[in-house]
Amino acid sequence: MFNFDIFFQSAVKQSIPLLLGSTGETLTEKSGNLNLGIPGIMYVGAISGVIGSFFYENHLNAAEAAINPFLGICIPLLCSLLGSLLMGLLYCFLTVNLRANQNVTGLAMTTFGVGFGNFFGGSLIKLTGSSVPSISLRETSKCFQKTLPFADRMGVVGTMFFSYGFLAYAAIVIAICAAFFLRKTRLGLQLRAVGENPGTADAAGINVSRYKYAATCIGSMIAGLGGLYYVMDYASGVWSNNAFGDRGWLAIALVIFTVWKPDFSILASILFGGLYILYLYIPTGTNMAIKEIYKMFPYLVTIAVLIIMSVRNRKENQPPAALGLPYFREDR
C-alpha cells in the first residue's frame, strides 16, 4: 500500500543531507572554487560528530549519568563543524595559496575524507569491541531526532511537515538565508563577482582570497552538517563504514540541477531524495538490476537539466564564469 505522507517523509529525510551539501557547495562555487571534495568533507563532518559524541557517551556510561541534551547536541555539532572547517581550510590553502588544480585537489580530498572517516570509524568500532561492524549512538541520536511536541497530534500534516529533527529545519533556513545572501546583499554581490571575474573584483578593491576562503570554509561547514544529519538523525546514530554512500556526489549534481540557487534546492533536494528511494516503493520483484536503474534517476535528471540549460543558454543560469580557475593577480 503506497502512503504518500510516509513516502514524502522519507524523501525529506533523505533530502536533508543533499540540501546541506548542495547549499555548501553552491556558496563555495559562487566564489569560483569548484570543491569536488564535498563528498569527503561530508564524510569528515559525519565522523567528527561521531567521534565527539562517542567519547561523550562513553564518559556518561562510565559516570552512569543521563545525557544532557544541550551537550549531547553541542559536542557533536561543534566537532562536526571543526572537522569540516579544517577540510575547507586545507582545500583553500592548496588551491588559493598554492594554486593547485582544483579538480585534482577536490578529488583527492574526497578520497582522503572517505578514508579518514572509515579509518576512525573502524578504530571506534574496535574500541567498542562489539561484534557488529557499527557504532550505535542512541542517546545522542535521540537528541537530534527530537521533533516538535505537537507533531504527533496533527495527523498527515504533522507527518509531512513537523516530524523532523531540528537540523532539517536548520537546513531549510540555511538554504533560504544563502539564497537571500547571494541575491540581495552587498557581500553576496561581491562574492558572485569573485566567482565570475576575480580580476574585476580585485580591481574593485575586493579581497579575492579572503572571499574564497570564507565562502569555501563556510560552505564546507554547511556541507559537513549534512554528514552529521545523516548519521545522527537519518541513520539514528548508527555509524557503519561507507554507509553514507554517494550522497556527496548527488549534492554536487544538485548544485547543477538547481542552477546555483540554494532556494531552488529545497524542493529539488526533496525530488532527488524521492527519486533516490523510489525503488523501495516500486515493486521490483527479485530483479535487483531494476533497482539500480531507479537509483540512477537523480543523475539522469541532472543530465537532462544540463542539456536543457545549454540549449536555452541563458547567461544567468550558467556556472560562475571563473569556476575552477585559479586567480593570479600578476596576470591582469
Q: Does 209 bind other proteins (CB under 8 A)?
A: no
CB of 321 to other proteins, least distance (A): 7
Candidate segments 47-55, 101-109, 292-300, 313-321, binder of other proteins by CB under 8 A: 313-321
Query: Given candidates 206, 243, 278, 301, which one binds other proteins under the rule CB under 8 A?
Result: 206
Q: Does 312 bind other proteins (CB under 8 A)?
A: no
Which residue, 197 or 284, has its beta carbon nearer to other proteins?
197
Positive/negative CA dihedral, 214, 216, 219, 220: negative
Candidate segments 10-18, 21-29, 180-188, 228-236, binder of other proteins by CB under 8 A: 180-188
Given a contact cutoff of 8 angstroms between Cβ atoms, the answer to whether 250 and 262 are in contact is: no
Residue list 44-103, contact with other proteins (CB under 8 A): none
Which residue, 179 or 235, has its beta carbon nearer to other proteins?
179
Cα separation, 49 vs 137, whole angstroms: 11
Q: Does 177 bind other proteins (CB under 8 A)?
A: no
Place of cell 553552491: 26
Q: Which grid coordinates are listed for 219?
A: 560552505
Which residue, 143 or 194, has its beta carbon nearer to other proteins?
194
Q: Which grid coordinates are listed for 92?
A: 583553500
Q: Does 259 bind other proteins (CB under 8 A)?
A: no
Q: Which grid coordinates are listed for 110?
A: 574526497
Query: Given candidates 156, 157, 173, 204, which one binds other proteins under the rule CB under 8 A?
Result: 204
Q: Does 316 bind other proteins (CB under 8 A)?
A: yes
Which residue, 64 or 316, has its beta carbon nearer to other proteins?
316
Q: Which grid coordinates are listed for 126?
A: 574496535
* Continuous segment of H or E residues that includes residue 304: helix 297-312
Cα separation, 18 vs 271, whole angstroms: 11
Which residue, 201 or 218, has its beta carbon nearer to other proteins?
201
SS3 38: helix
Q: Does 309 bind other proteins (CB under 8 A)?
A: no
CB of 318 to other proteins, least distance (A): 7
Q: Which grid coordinates are listed for 16?
A: 536533508
Query: Given candidates 78, 189, 282, 308, which one binds other proteins under the rule CB under 8 A?
Result: 189
Query: Given candidates 5, 196, 238, 264, which one binds other proteins under the rule CB under 8 A?
Result: 196
SS3 35: coil
- Which residues, other chains included, contact 171 with Cβ-Cβ below 8 Å and sequence gap of 6+? 16, 19, 20, 23, 225, 226, 229
Query: Given candidates 13, 192, 212, 261, which one binds other proteins under the rule CB under 8 A?
Result: 192
Q: Does 280 bind other proteins (CB under 8 A)?
A: no
Cα separation, 295 vs 279, whole angstroms: 7
Query: Given candidates 197, 209, 236, 284, which one binds other proteins under the rule CB under 8 A?
Result: 197
Cα separation, 301 vs 306, whole angstroms: 9
Nearest to 17 by CA among 51, 45, 48, 54: 45
Query: Given candidates 149, 205, 283, 285, which one binds other proteins under the rule CB under 8 A?
Result: 205
Query: Given candidates 134, 190, 209, 240, which one binds other proteins under the rule CB under 8 A?
Result: 190
CB of 88 to other proteins, least distance (A): 25
Q: Which grid coordinates are listed for 299?
A: 543523475
Strand runs labelled E in the chain: 135-136, 238-239
Which residue, 157 or 321, has its beta carbon nearer to other proteins?
321
Strand-pairing partners, residue 238, are: 136
> Interface with other proteins by CB under 8 A: which residues?
184-186, 189-190, 192-193, 196-197, 199-201, 203-206, 315-316, 318, 321, 332
